[in-house]
């Protein structure tokens, strides 16, 4: 009888302590606005450009993180992204420079941590890119020249080079709180899903190493 009484009292006490905690909603984080910058290693894939190498460029822009739950957020971004590829042969290098205004629409998941100063998160989503410029640069043996793609392509080829590119972006980062601000250091990969020209299966590829600093809004 005493055992049953003690067990019943324990259950009652536990329910009394847990109920207020369970009733408390998990606070949703405040939206955050950040600036982002980094270095990109871009190339082109496809049979006509299999031997082309990487173009090193930069990425810069802004990101807005809108929490949907305590761990899941919607993160739209607006970036200026340098892509393209380079080919070196016989002492000369030709660089195909494709620059875009890129709009990633990312779903972000913040990994729960307890008692840690590091806040990791993962993200993935579509990345819509609008061509800002296209140039071809040749350099070697002390000389260099750069011309817009339209000046070295016939009218049909220039019209065939698409001004829109859709891709898939995925990656992750580590966040470090600095007062109310948060410094993030991460990496992302962008896989082009659309052909750059109709005649050939040429697509963008890019790896970006970046840092960002964001600020809470409204709280």
Q: Model confidence over 107-134: pLDDT tens digits?
A: 999 998 877 789 999 999 999 999 999 9
Q: What is the rounded average pLDDT of the residues 41-68?
A: 92
Q: Distance between CA 106 and CA 172 in Å, rounded?
A: 11
This prediction has a pTM of: 0.82
Q: What is the pLDDT of residue 154?
A: 56
Phi, psi of 217 (to 5 degrees): -115, 135
* pLDDT tier, 25 (very low <50, low <70, confident <90, very high otherwise): low
Q: How many CA atoms lie within 13 A of 82 on its CB side?
A: 18
Q: What is the pLDDT of residue 11?
A: 42
Class of domain 27-216: mainly beta
- Two tokens at 52? 């082309």
The residue behind tokens 């910058």 is 37
> Where is pLDDT greater, at 138 or 15?
138
Q: Model confidence over 30-54: pLDDT tens digits?
A: 999 999 999 999 999 887 777 789 9
Q: What is the pLDDT of residue 159?
A: 52
Closest C-alpha among 95, 81, 124, 98 to residue 210: 81
Q: What is the rounded average pLDDT of the residues 48-75?
A: 93
Q: Model confidence over 130-188: pLDDT tens digits?
A: 999 999 998 887 778 888 887 766 544 545 688 999 999 999 999 999 988 999 999 99
Q: DSSP states of 109-162 as a string?
A: EEPP-SS-SEEEEEEEEEEEEEEEEEEEEEEETTEEEEEEHHHHS-HHHHHHS-
Q: What is the pLDDT of residue 17?
A: 38
For the cut 60, the answer to whether the pLDDT of residue 8 exceeds it is no
Q: What is the rounded average pLDDT of the residues 58-86?
A: 97
For the cut 50, the answer to whether the pLDDT of residue 196 exceeds it is yes
In angstroms, how far apart are the furthest CA atoms of the chain?
A: 97
Residue-averaged pLDDT of the chain: 85
Q: What is the pLDDT of residue 83?
A: 97
């Amino acid at each position: 009888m005493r055992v049953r009484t003690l067990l019943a009292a324990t259950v009652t006490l536990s329910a009394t302590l847990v109920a207020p905690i369970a009733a408390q909603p998990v606070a949703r984080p405040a939206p955050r606005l950040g600036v982002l910058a980094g270095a990109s290693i871009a190339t082109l894939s496809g049979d006509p450009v299999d031997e082309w190498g990487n173009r090193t460029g930069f990425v810069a822009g802004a990101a807005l993180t809108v929490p949907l739950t305590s761990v899941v957020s919607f993160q739209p971004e607006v970036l200026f992204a340098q892509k393209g590829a380079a080919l070196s042969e016989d002492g000369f290098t030709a660089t195909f420079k494709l620059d875009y205004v890129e709009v990633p629409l990312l779903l972000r998941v913040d990994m729960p941590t307890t008692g840690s100063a590091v806040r990791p998160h993962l993200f993935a989503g579509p990345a819509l890119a609008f061509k800002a410029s296209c140039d071809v640069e040749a350099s070697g043996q002390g000389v260099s020249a750069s011309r817009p793609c339209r000046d070295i392509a016939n009218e049909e080829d220039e019209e065939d080079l698409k001004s829109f590119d859709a891709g898939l972006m995925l990656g992750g980062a580590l966040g470090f709180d600095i007062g109310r601000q948060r410094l993030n250091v991460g990496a992302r990969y962008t896989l082009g899903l659309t052909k750059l020209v109709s005649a050939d299966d040429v697509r963008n590829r890019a790896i970006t190493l970046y840092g960002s600093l964001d600020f809470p809004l409204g709280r």
